[in-house]
Amino acid sequence: MQFLITGTAGFIGYHLARRLLDDGHSVTGFDGLTDYYDVQLKHARLAQLSEYAGYRHVTGMLEDRAALDRAATSAAPEIIVHLAAQAGVRYSIEAPRSYIDSNLTGSWNVLELARDLKPQHLLMGSTSSVYGANSEVPFNENDKTDEPLNLYAATKKGMEAMAFSYSQLFAIPTTSLRFFTVYGPWGRPDMALFKFVSAIREGRPIDVYGHGKMGRDFTFIADLVESIVRLTRLVPSEGNRAGVADTLSAVAPYRTVNIANGSPVRLMDFVSVVERSLGRKAQINYLPVQPGEMQQTFGDAALLQALTGYKPQIAIEDGVPQFVEWYSDFYGARLA
C-alpha cells in the first residue's frame, strides 16, 4: 500500500516507516527536521530509510500546506499516519508558540489534506498526557480528558477534537492513537532513558523528579509499531465494533485507542534496570515534580487487544538493554 507518514525523521515515525518498508509497502515521509534536539540524529534515521527503494522524502514544516501538498502528490496515499509534532511536556512551558504552530495549525493542515485526498484511513498520534488530572487508573479511552496539566497535552487534546469533527463532517475514517511513554533504540535525547544512559556513562548525576515516586507505563518501540501496523488495517466503521467498551463513535467513523504496556513502573525501579544494563551505579539528584508533570501514567490496553489480538508485552528488563546497546553502537566507545 501507499503510506504518507509525517515525522519520519523522528523516533516513532522512523521505526514505523522502516517496518512498513520491510513489509513491502511504499512510504513517503514528511519532516521539518527542526532543531528541538540533535538534528544529526534525525539525519541518521533518514539515512537508514533512504536505503529503501520504496521510500521518498519531502522536507517541510506542518504549517506549510504547500509542502504537505508536494508530499501528497508524491505519495498518492491510501493511508496517512500523522506522527509529526512538537513533543515534550517541559519545553511547552519554555516555547509554547511552537506547540500551537505544529500541533494545532500543523495538524489542521493534515486534516485539510485528508479532507481533499479522502484516504482509506487517517491515524493521528496523540499522547497519554491528555488524561491530565484524571486520578482513576488505569486510564481508559472513555475517561474524560478535560483537565490537561500542560500545553503539550492541551494541544494534543485539541488535535483529537479537530480530528473528530473532520471525521464527522467529511466521513474521514480516523483513529487517534494515545501513546504511553515510548522508548527504545533511536529514541529521543529529551526523554528520561536517553538522559539517564548518557549521564551514567559519563559519570554525571541524573535528575530524578518527584523524588523518585513517579510512575510511568513504558511502551517499547517494537510493541508500539506492531500495534500501529495492526490498527492501520482496522478502518473505523459501524461494522467493526470491538467486544469491549469501544470508543467507536455513533456519529462518525472515529475511534480512540490507547497503546500501553498496561503495567506502570516506579521511576526508581526503572533507574535500577538502567544501572544493571550499564553495569554502573547512578549518582542521583532528587528533585520535586516539575510543573505540568503527571504523577503516574497507566493505560488500559483492553480495547487495543480486543481490536488487534495484540498488546504491548516487552518488559523494561528486555527493552532497556536494547536501547543501551544501540546507544553504545551509535555514539561509539562500547562499555567495558
pLDDT digits over 42-70, tens only? 999 999 999 999 999 999 999 999 999 99
What is each CA distance from 224 to 180, 220, 231, 292, 319, in whole angstroms?
Answer: 9, 6, 11, 25, 12
Question: For the domain 2-182+218-259, what is the CATH code?
Answer: 3.40.50.720
Q: Are 198 and 328 within 8 A, CB to CB?
A: no
What is each CA distance from 297 to 168, 260, 262, 310, in whole angstroms?
Answer: 30, 9, 9, 20
Q: Which mean pLDDT values do the consecutive 10-residue runs of the chain (336 residues) have?
A: 98 98 98 95 97 97 96 92 94 94 98 97 98 93 95 97 98 98 97 96 94 94 98 90 89 97 95 97 94 92 96 97 96 58
Report the DSSP beta bridge partners of residue 56.
28
For residue 254, the 8-state DSSP code is E
Angle at 130 between CA 302 and CA 222, to 5 degrees: 50
H or E element at residue 169: helix 151-170
* pLDDT tens, position by position, 4-13: 999 999 999 9
List where CATH 3.40.50.720 sits in the chain: 2-182+218-259
List where CATH 3.90.25.10 sits in the chain: 192-215+263-297+313-331
Residue 152 annotated in active site? yes
Determine which one of 55, 152, 183, 254 is catalytic: 152
Return the CATH architecture of domain 192-215+263-297+313-331. Alpha-Beta Complex (3.90)
C-alpha cell at 332: 561509539
Q: What is the pTM of this model?
A: 0.96
Strand order, beta sheet including 79-82? 55-59, 26-31, 2-6, 79-82, 121-127, 174-179, 254-259
